[in-house]
């Protein structure tokens, strides 16, 4: 089963939930850190790097000026404005290119070939029963989805995988959530948490993936998230109590289930609930 942990708002506890869930699984589990712009799950696992980082590239166009007649077919095709044609010459903007290969196909002169441009790396770390796969986007690169897809290529064909999604509701989140079996939306009991939860709910409904909500730091705000879930018929999977000791453990790079045994039951129950919910859908 492939479970994604997502949220509209940043800082609600996606990584915390993902890590603690992975840790309470008794058997081998893969944890995929899809927040490739700032992967941080590794900070809490202290795993051992397995092999060399795998370099991920994006195919970007290169123009053979001896063949190009400046017709502009490539530029009119490109939805991302990565190509501009002026005075019969093609200008390429590699940082805008999504690597779709369309320009190469529409060029009537065969003047475009693709060259690989490095965008980041995928690393594999071992930490006990958890195998962590993480993407790390190179500094200055804005194109996260292709790297996220490279991370997701490491999802095993059998067994369980937990995906730690980036925050928000834009392309990197969609790239992470696609083809998952279940989404856990993590939120906090604040007006901001509720607002961004609604955006995230709209996304997973559009993607037609079964989902439920976890309220993190429950008790620190109000009850509006719970009321919203009731009104919308959304399964409230768990409420993780607000506890300063969790934050203290976090600041030392420790997981709640390691530092505070009473949290083991909460996360085990969450895992079972998710599994039941996903299988029931």
Partner 1 sequence: MKIACATSGLDLDAPLDSRFGRALKFLIYDTETKAFTLVDNQQNLNAAQGAGIQSAQTVAASGVQVLIAGHCGPKAFRVLAAANIKVYTTTAGTVAEALALYQDGKLIESSAADVEGHWA
If one counts every other C-beta atom within 10 angstroms of the C-beta of residue 43, the result is 11
Site stretch for partner 1 (CB under 8 A), options 19-27, 87-95, 197-205, 209-217: 87-95
How far apart (Å, rounded) are the C-alpha atoms in residues 273 and 142?
36
When the beta carbons of 80 and 276 are compared against partner 1, the nearer one is: 80
Q: Which region among 77-85, 103-111, 224-232, 272-280 touches partner 1 (by CB under 8 A)? A: 77-85
Among 93, 115, 220, 265, binds partner 1 (CB under 8 A): 93
Q: Is position 75 an interface residue for partner 1 (rule: CB under 8 A)? A: yes
- Residue 184, φ and ψ in degrees, nearest 5: -100, 115
Range 96-125, binding partner 1 (CB under 8 A):
96
Using alpha carbons only, give the angle 240, 38, 54 rounded to the nearest 5 degrees: 120
Environment class of 105 (CB within 10 Å of its CB; exposed 0-12, middle 13-18, buried 19+): exposed
Interface pick for partner 1 out of 48, 87, 139, 261 (rule CB under 8 A): 87
Report the site for partner 1 in 1-60 (rule: CB under 8 A): none
Using rule CB under 8 A, residue 82 touches partner 1: yes
Q: Are 23 and 124 a contacting pair, CB within 8 Å?
A: no
The values of phi and psi at residue 206, to 5°, are: -60, -40
**In whole angstroms, how close is the CB of 117 to partner 1 at the nearest point?**
16
Which of residues 89 and 118 has its CB atom nearest to partner 1 in the complex? 89
Query: Residue 87 in 3-state DSSP?
Result: coil
- In this structure, are residues 161 and 32 in contact, taking their beta carbons and an 8 Å threshold? yes
From 91-99, 178-186, 199-207, 268-276, span contacting partner 1 (CB under 8 A): 91-99
Min separation Cβ 41 and partner 1, Å = 29
CA dist list (Å): 278 to 52, 75, 130, 181, 271 = 35, 44, 21, 7, 11
Q: Does 69 bind partner 1 (CB under 8 A)?
A: no
If you search the block for the tokens 């005075």, which residue do you land on?
A: 87
Q: Does 236 bind partner 1 (CB under 8 A)?
A: no
Closest distance of CB 151 from partner 1, Å: 23
Q: Which member of 10, 53, 81, 262 binds partner 1 (CB under 8 A)?
A: 81
Cβ-count burial 196-224 (b if 16+ within 10 Å, e if not): bbeebbebbeeeebbbbbbbbbbeebeee
Residues touching partner 1, count (CB under 8 A): 12
Alpha-carbon span 7 to 184, nearest angstrom: 8
Candidate segments 49-57, 85-93, 187-195, 201-209, binder of partner 1 by CB under 8 A: 85-93
Residues forming contacts to partner 1 in the complex (CB under 8 A) are: 75, 80-82, 84-87, 89, 91, 93, 96
């Amino acid at each position: 089963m492939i479970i994604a942990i997502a949220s509209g708002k940043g800082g609600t506890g996606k990584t915390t939930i993902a890590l603690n869930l992975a840790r309470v699984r008794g058997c081998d589990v893969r944890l995929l850190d899809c927040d490739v712009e700032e992967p941080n799950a590794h900070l809490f696992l202290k795993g051992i790097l397995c092999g060399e980082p795998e370099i991920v590239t994006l195919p970007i166009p290169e123009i053979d000026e001896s063949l190009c007649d400046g017709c502009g077919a490539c530029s009119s095709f490109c939805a991302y404005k990565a190509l501009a044609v002026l005075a019969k010459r093609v200008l390429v903007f590699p940082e805008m290119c999504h690597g779709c290969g369309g320009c190469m196909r529409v060029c009537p002169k065969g003047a475009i070939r693709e060259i690989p441009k490095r965008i980041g790396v995928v690393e594999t770390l071992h930490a006990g029963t958890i195998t962590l796969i993480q993407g790390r986007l190179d500094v200055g690169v804005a194109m996260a989805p292709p790297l996220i897809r490279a991370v997701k290529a490491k999802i095993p064909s059998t067994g369980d995988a937990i995906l730690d999604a980036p925050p928000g509701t834009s392309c990197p989140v969609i790239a992470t959530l696609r083809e998952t079996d279940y989404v856990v939306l993590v939120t906090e009991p604040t007006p901001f948490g509720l607002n961004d939860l609604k955006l995230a709910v709209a996304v997973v409904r559009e993607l037609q993936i079964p989902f439920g909500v976890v309220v993190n730091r429950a008790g620190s705000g109000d009850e509006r998230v719970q009321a919203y879930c009731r009104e919308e018929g959304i399964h409230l999977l768990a409420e993780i109590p607000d506890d300063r000791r969790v934050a203290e453990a976090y600041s030392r790079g420790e997981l709640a289930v390691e530092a505070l045994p009473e949290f083991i039951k909460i996360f085990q129950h969450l895992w079972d609930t998710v599994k039941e919910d996903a299988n029931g859908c």
